[in-house]
């Protein structure tokens, strides 16, 4: 009851104020349109203007709501597409190749850069061994990005290298380098391709560009080492006896051209020693390898040292190898060399002991082969046959010493 009385009082007061405002004696506005006159009170005009202003803003807000809702939905869809692309890229970099390939292709149509989706999907397909699908995806990428794009060039070259198509990769990379002469990935892949083709002169010509590209010092040193080792390894090819002296002179000239830092690396030392052995100068090869091993121990070079040994001074060589065993401990390479030396000296018991310890450390084909020869010389034919079978079973290439 009290609330009704209050509402009634407010209505009466409002009505009175309105009547007071509509009183023409308090001011009016006269509007003439042709022969027609419109006369309204001043306060009614104010109320009409306020109502028009409020109505205009209401209409604007009502008109803006659908646009705002549409824009919100569009932004939400864009965010969903972006999350889908990011998830696909994450799968790619986490090595989930099958899932990444499917997700990248599916999200390509909604990606802002679909060419990148196709390039990554092609790489994922290549890693799965599906070269045809990878090539088709790269063709799709070429329709989205320029054909001479570095990303597309790198992807095509990697696919060719994976297929062992070194000539095709080389053509792609050389064309790409003509357009992007200092692109780091193109240069690195070109370096890899030249190494696999053993094109050492081409690799030598590429070295200045690799230095300019900002390749790390360690990576550049490895490239230079492989370059010099490859050049030296070419001298290990069989040649006629009459040509060996000239080849030895050429080898020494090439060895002098190798930088001092590279000469001390195992890869170059090994290539030089094998070339010396192939050209008939095994004595010098053994001396250089022994000098290096005395200064910088490397078990991998022990096998090359053992291969360079002749049939002379075997006991002094055995003493050197036994001293290395005391100083540096056991390694399968050193135990294999000791077993071979003992076999050649017909100390078959020690040879068998060394070789069995080597086989425990590394059951490799060359160890089983040497042990089989030792057992055969000792009269243990069943044991020798078993070792030869183990050597044949292993997939690693065996090194047979005479």
Q: What is the pLDDT of residues 152-202, one digit of tens each?
A: 888 888 888 888 888 888 888 888 888 888 888 888 889 989 988 888 889
Q: Which stretches within 109-165 are classed as H helix?
A: 114-127, 131-142, 150-162
Task: Please determine, for residue 396, whether its predicted confidence score (pLDDT) is greater than 50.
Answer: no
- Which residues is 29 bridged to in the sheet? 40
pTM greater than 0.85: no
Q: What is the mean pLDDT of residues 220-232?
A: 90
Residue 26 pLDDT more than 60? no
CA distances (Å), origin 349, targets 164, 369, 375, 399: 47, 16, 9, 22
Instruction: Answer whether residue 55 shows pLDDT above 70.
Output: yes
* For residue 323, pLDDT beyond 90: yes
Query: Cα–Cα distance between 297 and 290 in angstroms, integer?
Result: 10
For residue range 86-141, what is the model confidence (pLDDT) as tens digits? 777 777 777 787 887 788 777 777 777 777 777 788 888 888 888 888 888 878 87
H/E segment holding residue 364? none
Q: Which residue has the higher pLDDT, 290 or 46?
A: 290
- With cut-offs at 50, 70 and 90, classify the pLDDT of residue 62: low
Among 9-13, 175-179, 336-340, top mean pLDDT goes to 336-340
Among candidate residues 335, 287, 271, 343, the one with its CA nearest the CA of residue 311: 343
For 44, the 3-state DSSP assignment is helix
Query: Sorting pLDDT into bands at 50, 70 and 90, what band is 1?
Result: low
Residue, of 390 and 323, whose pLDDT is higher: 323
How would residue 354 be classed by pLDDT, with cut points 50, 70 and 90?
very high
Looking at 296-347, list the stretches that DSSP marks H as alpha helix, in order from N- to C-terminal side. 299-307, 314-328, 332-344
Q: Return the pLDDT at 398.
A: 43
pLDDT of residue 153: 85
For tokens 């009175």, the residue is 16
Q: 36: which strand partners?
A: 33
Predicted confidence at residue 260, as pLDDT, reads: 86
Query: What confidence score (pLDDT) does residue 163 get?
Result: 81
**Confidence category of residue 399, pLDDT binned at 50, 70, 90:** very low
pLDDT score, position 397: 47
Burial of 70 (0-12, 13-18, 19+ CB in 10 A): exposed
Give the residue range(s) of CATH 1.25.40.10 domains in the chain: 334-402
Identify the sign of the CA torsion 228, 230, 236, 239: negative
Q: What is the pLDDT of residue 104?
A: 79
| Burial track 91-127 (b if 16+ CB lie within 10 A, e otherwise) | bbeeeebeebbebbbebbeebeebbbbbbbbbbbbbb
Average pLDDT over residues 230-245: 87
Q: What pLDDT was estimated at residue 269?
A: 92
Task: Evaluate whether 189 touches 173 at the Cβ level (below 8 Å).
Answer: yes
Residue whose C-alpha is closest to residue 184's, from 225, 216, 158, 160? 216
What is the enclosing helix (H) or strand (E) of 36?
strand 36-41
Q: Give the per-residue pLDDT at 289.
A: 92
Distance CA 155, CA 137 (A): 10
3-state class (DSSP) for residue 396: coil
Neighbours of 198 (CB within 10 A): 13
With left for phi above 0 and alpha for psi between -120 and 50, is residue 183 left, alpha or beta?
beta
| 8 Å CB contact between 173 and 203 | no
Instruction: Please provide the average confidence, as pLDDT, over all residues in the chain.
Output: 81
Lowest pLDDT segment from 49-63, 213-227, 233-247: 49-63
Give the single-character DSSP code of 243.
Answer: G
- What is the spatial distance between Cα 64 and Cα 73, in angstroms, rounded to a whole number? 14
pLDDT at site 319: 92
Q: What percent of the chain has pLDDT over 70?
A: 81
pLDDT > 90? residue 4: no
| Model confidence pLDDT, tens digit, residues 248-296 | 999 999 999 888 888 888 899 999 999 998 888 888 999 999 999 999 8
In the CATH hierarchy, which fold is given to the domain comprising 334-402? Answer: 1.25.40
- How far is it, in rounded angstroms, from Cα 26 to Cα 22? 8
pLDDT at 9: 66
Which CATH architecture fits 146-215? Alpha Horseshoe (1.25)
């Amino acid at each position: 009851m009290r609330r009704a009385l209050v509402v009634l009082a407010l209505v009466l007061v409002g009505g009175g104020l309105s009547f007071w405002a509509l009183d023409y004696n308090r001011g009016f506005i006269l509007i003439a349109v042709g022969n027609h006159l419109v006369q309204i009170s001043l306060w009614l005009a104010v109320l009409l203007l306020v109502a028009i202003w409020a109505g205009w803003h209401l209409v604007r807000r009502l008109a803006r709501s659908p646009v705002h809702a549409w824009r919100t939905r569009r932004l939400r869809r864009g965010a969903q597409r972006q999350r889908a692309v990011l998830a696909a890229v994450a799968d790619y970099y986490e090595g989930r190749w099958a899932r990444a390939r499917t997700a990248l292709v599916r999200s390509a149509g909604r990606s802002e850069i679909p060419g990148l989706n196709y390039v990554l999907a092609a790489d994922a397909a290549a890693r799965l061994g599906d070269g045809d699908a990878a090539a088709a995806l790269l063709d799709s990428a070429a329709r989205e990005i320029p054909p001479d794009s570095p990303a597309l060039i790198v992807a095509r070259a990697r696919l060719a290298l994976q297929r062992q198509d070194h000539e095709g990769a080389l053509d792609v990379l050389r064309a790409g380098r003509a357009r992007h002469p200092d692109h780091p990935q193109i240069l690195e892949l070109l370096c890899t391709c030249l190494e696999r083709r053993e094109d050492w002169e081409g690799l030598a010509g590429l070295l200045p560009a690799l230095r300019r590209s900002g390749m790390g010092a360690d990576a550049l040193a490895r490239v230079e080492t492989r370059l010099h080792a490859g050049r030296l390894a070419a001298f290990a090819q069989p040649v006629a006896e009459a040509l060996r002296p000239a080849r030895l002179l050429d080898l020494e000239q090439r060895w002098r051209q190798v930088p001092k830092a590279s000469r001390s690396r195992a890869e170059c030392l090994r290539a030089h020693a094998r070339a010396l052995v192939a050209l008939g100068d095994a004595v010098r090869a053994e001396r250089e390898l022994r000098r290096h091993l005395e200064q910088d121990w490397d078990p991998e070079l022990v096998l090359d040292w053992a291969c360079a040994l002749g049939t002379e001074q075997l006991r002094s060589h055995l003493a050197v190898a036994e001293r290395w065993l005391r100083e540096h401990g056991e390694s399968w390479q050193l135990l294999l060399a000791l077993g071979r030396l003992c076999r050649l000296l017909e100390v078959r018991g020690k040879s068998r002991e060394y070789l069995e310890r080597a086989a425990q450390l590394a059951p490799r084909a060359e160890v089983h082969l040497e042990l089989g020869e030792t057992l055969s010389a000792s009269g243990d034919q069943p044991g020798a046959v078993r070792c030869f079978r183990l050597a044949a079973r292993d997939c690693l290439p065996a090194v047979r010493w005479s």
